[in-house]
Chains A and B, each alone.
Chain A
């Protein structure tokens, strides 16, 4: 009926292999594909796609209207352009990849829930120029046909290769999102069942009473049509109760099922919570397991609040009094006939899943979308970059931006993931004390018993599970079963109250309370399936046939999973590159440069003046906008980076202005020394509210690249730049003195690139200081922008400048002089050459980074070479070690006196970082200096 989608992904090994003979041999997972192919234009495919950038589409197969799109991420109509989402939804939803079987299987009396694993396929529509990774999943809905609602999440891109090569990672990310959705869904489903059971139970009791009345009325009415109808109704309700109880049992046994899906690793915490919740419910309704013996007393003892007042069966008024106050829920009579299929309103996705879980999923998908922005080449280089950085953990703190933790996911480690917790962790650093909710096996046994639980064991159960306690409070509260959202919020409140004693309330941000309360233990480790099978990407429970198509190729395309083998080789390449040796095998670094340079065009107005070795890639530039536009303009919540009020900085006026932005300049001119200017200038062009999930590395890089322009300008402008850089790199505090705040801030921002170990929030840099500094400040800040004022305050400032002159170098921005010890070394000449041919800031930034990386590597070698620091034998004195060290620095590394100081300083930083990784020491930080004469440099 609908044109079948062309299944391209991992469909047939041979077919795929034929189209591109062996473009990606990938002997190691870390190699970069030789890209672009000689014969094809890599950008060609995007030309006929109707959307501008990649997006995530969530669609459902509605039983009423068929496939329909639900939402896109990013939620911007411009993204999709003229792309027909309806049609595409139709394409991707038209085949039941999961092949979910529903209904009554033969041999069982009750309807069975089908536990279907998610399926993952890559679909393409070459006419539309759209390719998608499609992740199908099934959610449960009591009102839906067969209790299931098929959904799918799709990552839609114009580039087929991008989808193919990122398959693993996409699969991982979407599995996480799917697990999160499903966890929320199970919770909501159980809740819905609970309500339904309560209604059924009520209906049952009413019917029973009516029947009893009839029976009392006389035997003649026993067989009246009315009585028969009542009896049938009663039987139906009883059957229905059995069915629903069974469903509840099934849903709670969900987690006991072995998972075949290697990516379906769920957070143990969520599982536990959900399990205990379900079991709690099961316990509650276990009594109806014996519906004929249903007695009012039992009903009251177990679920007394479920009975409306005025039924007349109450024989214990005191008890009823206590219950009465809590009464707010009125059970409804269940009609014998359910509404017509097309009359009822289907639940939305948000209603199907717990609100918290839904939001967490959306946040997760947003992050996924963000992390896949950019073309393949960019993604590769970024990943390479990160992998390299990860290799250099010991020294990365010196010059590299901070690696955030969730980078771990990108490597494909099967870390148990809970989106709820994930989101919370991004908000609050504080880890809430875990609530251990272990499922009690005996509860299950109790279910089998026809007798109801005695109240004592019931209470013991509630005590055992705190969440259950919250749940039982909830029992009395919901007033209307249709108000799902309200109830869910109450639910979260209830569970929150159960553990709020353990959590610092003040730490919580508004609106996160509920998420936090449910935050599971991040350390809980769910080991993935032992029969972890990478080849089975699409693991459908029932169907091997569709899944069979998906098998095969996967083995060859585990590209991003662990790309660490070649790191050292690439590292070597990097070093070669920074020494100007570029061979043909240096594709990776060049690609990096290429990407960076392209990106640079976005915000650099200067005419592109390509560095010679970039020329080979210059043919990419005409079409680059298409790709580069996909880059996030600004997406970092800036608290990750340079801001005021970050907990790490004590000063009121700390913070680093974004370098050389137009807005930044304007702001810094207008702003007084009120300290709030930092926030303003830092928010240049960024949408801080865009996303709660920071993606630190990207934008830091962006900022640093921007600073590269300033640094390049500095180097070209000042002949004594090399001395200034040496001061910073050798750990001597540099004070930039000037009257004009904008100028000083720009200089500081540019020079901040050279500050080793600037700290995650730039703690070691003070962009603008307008009061005299003390020794402690010198110890804390390695780069200070100081206001020159002509007032009594100014004289005391000058006094402090001259008093501490032995510890600092002074760069006078107004008179363009520099007072610092002389530098005669050679090490910095290639980054501080004022006749440099580098014209663009981002290029200079890369050049700088490679040099600094080189330096860090030397410092690492120096730091961890035992005999350079400690005597080899007992007879050696410190002088011998000293001379050996000197010899190493001079002869082997070829460093002069001043260059050695750089290395010694870096080495000292590495040592400190290694000994105290978090800087967590009760002792005050130490401050090293040396006694040398300074000289004044002028232009």
Chain B
């Protein structure tokens, strides 16, 4: 959705081809909705709640950086299309290791932890388009294990700590043990995402279906059940809590599943349809683009699910089974990655090159009904597929809250692909402009530097 301001009028074009023309000084009646939909997204230069007042630009990649994984509380690894994996010290911004070996872009990366008697050893598993898998030691930079000549490139990785195995998904599903020995293999899948479910089950997203696969201690994989409620390609699959998992599809369907019962709990079709408003001129233009409602990313903290839908953000409450807050146009372009920092704080990054921080706030005027819902919402007791276009059923949600922009981080000149938060130590973002940026709290850094200064002063016994 794009908006333009021409003098005193806003023109907005929605994905349904609705061109809305509205005066800026429109009536209070229409204003409510207006405020929710089209707030001033550029919050300006005054950002008192934004604590990231220092940055470090980390260079080293030669192509788009797509993945970031946290290794421990001060290290992270970045990987991207140049096939390089770089290990960084987040505290200092130093590049600790450079893991070279893949000739093509990295398609998946994850950490695997080995418990020794004393220590926890974290290693990295990477998968690349050159159809190889590698195990790296991030302390030494050594390539500990490698497997090449796979039949296809691996799209996703899942480590099952309990069973001491890990899975790779792509055209085929393979189970490996820690020593990189193939345990078993199932061909003819197109797995895009894998999550672990209770009782040694695994959910694998394959195109429009979700397969329940048992991976028991005998280390064999068998497909138990197949859920095919999605009408489009599944883009995101996450564990919500012990009993629930969620999936999001390309056309904006968000489905909440029961992990044990293996049935559909809630079906939410997020679409932005403008409700009939009074003083708007509507011109219907063409068909909607599905990418604008595609669920790019899902995150959860157990209570809330944050969905990145097109360039918007939706916060879905698991308890109430409803959207509690949303922002249809949170970014200028598609949102690529999100994170829930707490129950009321979240963060998102987008193709427009910015990272934004949001706060879920109560509406300033709670008495006034907030919105009449711009998304359809259905609950199904059954798991059968819904046919036909969903009927519009508007449910009033009185306690919908507001997503307020509290700060943005501008630094990247390309799409921000991902970010990892190290809480008070900072935030690492990676981007298509080949850079990583380490955002830090300037005051904290200054305090640390002072500490170091006085330590050095003491060591040297004076200036």
The answer to whether B93 and A926 have CB atoms under 8 Å apart is yes
Q: In the assembly, what is the distance between CA of A567 and CA of B447, in Å?
A: 32
B463 surroundings in chain A (CB, below 8 A): 393-394, 864
The answer to whether B59 and A915 have CB atoms under 8 Å apart is no
The answer to whether A926 and B94 have CB atoms under 8 Å apart is no
Residue of B nearest to A775 (CB): B411
Number of A residues, CB within 8 Å of B: 39
The answer to whether B411 and A915 have CB atoms under 8 Å apart is no
Residue of B53, B411, B443 with most partner-chain A CB within 10 A: B411
A881 surroundings in chain B (CB, below 8 A): 447
Residue of A nearest to B463 (CB): A394
Residue of B nearest to A878 (CB): B447
A933-B450 in contact given A806-B410, A922-B94 (Cβ < 8 Å): no
A931 interface neighbour in B46, B412, B413, B446, Cβ under 8 Å: B46
Query: Shortest CB–CB separation between residue B74 and chain A, in angstroms?
Result: 13
User: 1/0 per residue B46-62: CB within 8 Å of A?
Assistant: 11101001111111000
User: 1/0 per residue A786-819: CB within 8 Å of B?
Assistant: 0000000000000010011110000000000000
Stretch of A451-459, A851-859, A906-914 at the chain-chain interface: A906-914
The answer to whether A915 and B46 have CB atoms under 8 Å apart is no
Q: In the assembly, what is the distance between CA of A928 and CA of B446, in Å?
A: 10
A108 interface residue (CB < 8 Å to B)? no
B442 interface neighbour in A804, A882, A930, Cβ under 8 Å: A930
The answer to whether B48 and A931 have CB atoms under 8 Å apart is yes
User: 1/0 per residue B22-66: CB within 8 Å of A?
Assistant: 000000000000000000000011111010011111110000000
A932 interface residue (CB < 8 Å to B)? yes
A37 interface residue (CB < 8 Å to B)? no
A915-B453 in contact given A775-B411, A922-B95, A928-B442 (Cβ < 8 Å): yes
B380 interface residue (CB < 8 Å to A)? no
Q: In the assembly, what is the distance between CA of A869 and CA of B53, in Å?
A: 18
The answer to whether B45 and A779 have CB atoms under 8 Å apart is no
The answer to whether B44 and A928 have CB atoms under 8 Å apart is no
The answer to whether B57 and A779 have CB atoms under 8 Å apart is yes
B56 surroundings in chain A (CB, below 8 A): 923-927
Within residues 463 to 519 of chain A, which ones have a CB less than 8 A from any CB in chain B? none
Residue of A nearest to B433 (CB): A774
The answer to whether A912 and B449 have CB atoms under 8 Å apart is yes
Query: Shortest CB–CB separation between residue B333 and chain A, in angstroms?
Result: 14
The answer to whether A911 and B57 have CB atoms under 8 Å apart is no
Residue of A393, A803, A923, A933 with most partner-chain B CB within 10 A: A923
B395 interface residue (CB < 8 Å to A)? no
B147 interface residue (CB < 8 Å to A)? no
Number of B residues, CB within 8 Å of A: 41
Residue of B nearest to A779 (CB): B57
Query: Shortest CB–CB separation between residue A235 and chain B, in angstroms?
Result: 71
Residue of A nearest to B91 (CB): A923
Q: In the assembly, what is the distance between CA of A877 and CA of B139, in Å?
A: 35
Query: Shortest CB–CB separation between residue A904 and chain B, in angstroms?
Result: 8
The answer to whether B94 and A923 have CB atoms under 8 Å apart is yes
User: 1/0 per residue B411-428: CB within 8 Å of A?
Assistant: 111000000000000000
The answer to whether A911 and B449 have CB atoms under 8 Å apart is yes
A806-B45 in contact given A923-B94, A927-B54, A928-B53 (Cβ < 8 Å): yes
User: 1/0 per residue B428-454: CB within 8 Å of A?
Assistant: 000000010110101101110111111
The answer to whether A928 and B94 have CB atoms under 8 Å apart is no
The answer to whether A908 and B449 have CB atoms under 8 Å apart is yes
B446 surroundings in chain A (CB, below 8 A): 869, 904, 908, 911, 928
Residue of A nearest to B407 (CB): A931
A931 surroundings in chain B (CB, below 8 A): 45-48, 50, 53, 407
A869 interface neighbour in B44, B440, B450, Cβ under 8 Å: B450
The answer to whether B450 and A926 have CB atoms under 8 Å apart is no
A671 interface residue (CB < 8 Å to B)? no
The answer to whether A869 and B93 have CB atoms under 8 Å apart is no
B92 interface residue (CB < 8 Å to A)? yes
B435 surroundings in chain A (CB, below 8 A): 775-776
A863 interface residue (CB < 8 Å to B)? yes
The answer to whether A923 and B92 have CB atoms under 8 Å apart is yes
B178 interface residue (CB < 8 Å to A)? no
Residue of B nearest to A930 (CB): B53
User: 1/0 per residue B388-422: CB within 8 Å of A?
Assistant: 00000000000000000001001111000000000
B289 surroundings in chain A (CB, below 8 A): none
A866 interface neighbour in B58, B92, B454, Cβ under 8 Å: B454
The answer to whether A926 and B54 have CB atoms under 8 Å apart is yes
B456 interface residue (CB < 8 Å to A)? yes
The answer to whether A869 and B54 have CB atoms under 8 Å apart is no
The answer to whether B450 and A911 have CB atoms under 8 Å apart is yes
B457 interface residue (CB < 8 Å to A)? yes
Q: In the assembly, what is the distance between CA of A926 and CA of B411, in Å?
A: 13
* Chain A to chain B contacts (Cβ below 8 Å), 17 pairs: A775-B437, A779-B57, A863-B450, A864-B453, A864-B463, A869-B446, A869-B451, A870-B450, A922-B95, A923-B56, A926-B54, A927-B54, A928-B54, A932-B45, A932-B46, A933-B46, A934-B45
Q: Which A-B residue pairs are the 5 nearest by beta carbons?
A: A869-B450, A931-B47, A923-B93, A923-B94, A924-B56
Taking Cβ atoms with an 8 Å cutoff, the residues of B that contact A are 44-48, 50, 53-59, 89, 92-95, 407, 410-413, 435, 437-438, 440, 442-443, 445-447, 449-454, 456-457, 463
Taking Cβ atoms with an 8 Å cutoff, the residues of A that contact B are 393-394, 774-776, 779, 800, 803-806, 863-864, 866, 869-870, 878, 881-882, 904, 908, 911-912, 914-915, 921-934
A776-B59, A864-B457, A928-B445 are known contacts; what are 4 more A-B pairs with Cβ within 8 Å?
A: A911-B446, A924-B93, A928-B54, A931-B47
